[in-house]
Every structure is written in structure tokens, then in C-alpha cells.
């Protein structure tokens, strides 16, 4: 697929190319929503910015992920995460995003690696059932990053304790997560 894009000839627009791919209709709508994101112009070639795409994060082989986009410059470092969802009602509030482990892990990894006094995390939400784009922007100081990182580390011990259990019935259940973000896909297994 990437090779086909690189070898495109003439003035074929990117959106037309992406729309022609043999992918699910919801994903095509998500691609259309992504194309509506005017903020992407901010990421165009700029000699003062370094872009890191799909940058792997691995902290102690426990906290592992891939940062969709990291824009590093002397003025500001920004992490961008793209989320594709069907309904705007599933977009978390800023307060919820501050408690999201992804926020803690990614900002901690980037601010530690680059030794940053502050960092920005942008969550970009795109519609899959209709074309829309909304973003949430968190500006965090190093102290705030360390505070949310400490909370995630502490909560992680409960999860890691569950991994030590040899039987599912011995694990600690978190019923508050059952219906979050449209519901858990494993709900039927838990209540059999």
C-alpha cells in the first residue's frame, strides 16, 4: 500500500487515493474526517521541527505503546494521538484524559527522553459514522506529568497482581469499566 502511494503519478489527490483503497466503509469515513483536519497543515515540513511517526514507547517492558505523532521543536513538543470513534459522546473530558494511562505514559516517556519542562498532548477524534473532527489539548508541566505518572504506576500494581493469578475468578474486577467507551467486548465472558 505504501509503495503504491509513493509511486503515484500526476496530481491524484491523497484523499481520492485513500478512498479508492479496499477498506471498510467506516474506515473510509474516518479517513475523510482525517482529511478535514486543518491542523495537519501545522505539521508540514518545517526545518525547526522534527517529526516522529509511530514512535515506540517501552518503559520497563510493562508500559508499551506507539505514539502516533510527536512534533519536537525548540519552542514546543507536542504528542498527537488519533482516535476514530462513531459518536462524539464518547470523547472524554479533559479531566478524564488527565487520568488516562496513555496520557501519563506518553508524556512521561517524551518529557523524560527530551528533558522537557512542559509538553502538549493533543487527542484528535474523528468520526467514522459521519465526517467530523474534534480535538482535546492538554498542556502539562513536568510536575504535572510526574504526578499523573505516579498515579498510573500505583494503579498498575493492581493490574500486575491480576496477572499473577492462575484463575480468572481470583482477579480483581473493575465493574466501572464494563460500559466505558461503548462497552467492553468481553462482557459476555465475565457474566457467564
Q: pLDDT band at residue 102, thresholds of 50, 70 and 90?
A: very high
pTM of the model: 0.70
Q: What domains appear along the chain, each with residue ranges and CATH number?
A: 2-190 (3.90.320)
pLDDT of residue 109: 95
- pLDDT tens, 70-88? 989 888 899 999 998 889 9
pLDDT tens per residue, range 110-147: 999 999 999 999 999 988 888 888 999 999 999 999 99
The DSSP code sequence of the chain is -HHHHHT--TT--HHHHHHHSS--HHHHHHHHHHHT-GGGGGGS--TT-EEEEEEEEEETTTEEEEEEEEEE-SS-EEEEEEEEES-GGGPPPHHHHHT-HHHHHHHHHHHHHTT-SEEEEEEEEEESSS--EEEEEEEEEHHHHHHHHHHHHHHHHHHHHHHT-SSGGGSPP-GGGTTGGG--TTHHHHT-
Give 1-23 pLDDT, tens digit per residue. 333 333 333 344 655 666 677 77
Amino acid at each position: 500500500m505504501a509503495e503504491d502511494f509513493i509511486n503515484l503519478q500526476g496530481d491524484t489527490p491523497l484523499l481520492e487515493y485513500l478512498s479508492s483503497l479496499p477498506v471498510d466503509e467506516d474506515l473510509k469515513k474516518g479517513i475523510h474526517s482525517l482529511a478535514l483536519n486543518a491542523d495537519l497543515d501545522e505539521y508540514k515540513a518545517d526545518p525547526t521541527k522534527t517529526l516522529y511517526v509511530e514512535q515506540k514507547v517501552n518503559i520497563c517492558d510493562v508500559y508499551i505503546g506507539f505514539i502516533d505523532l510527536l512534533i519536537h521543536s525548540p519552542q514546543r513538543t507536542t504528542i498527537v494521538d488519533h482516535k476514530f470513534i462513531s459518536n462524539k459522546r464518547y470523547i472524554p473530558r479533559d479531566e478524564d484524559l488527565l487520568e488516562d494511562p496513555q496520557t501519563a505514559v506518553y508524556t512521561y516517556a517524551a518529557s523524560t527522553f527530551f528533558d522537557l519542562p512542559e509538553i502538549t498532548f493533543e487527542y484528535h477524534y474523528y468520526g467514522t459514522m459521519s465526517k467530523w473532527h474534534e480535538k482535546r489539548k492538554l498542556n502539562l508541566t513536568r510536575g504535572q506529568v510526574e504526578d499523573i505518572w505516579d498515579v498510573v504506576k500505583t494503579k498498575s500494581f493492581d493490574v500486575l497482581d491480576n496477572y499473577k493469578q492462575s484463575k480468572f475468578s481470583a482477579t480483581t474486577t473493575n465493574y466501572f469499566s464494563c460500559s466505558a467507551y461503548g462497552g467492553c467486548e468481553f462482557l459476555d465472558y465475565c457474566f457467564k
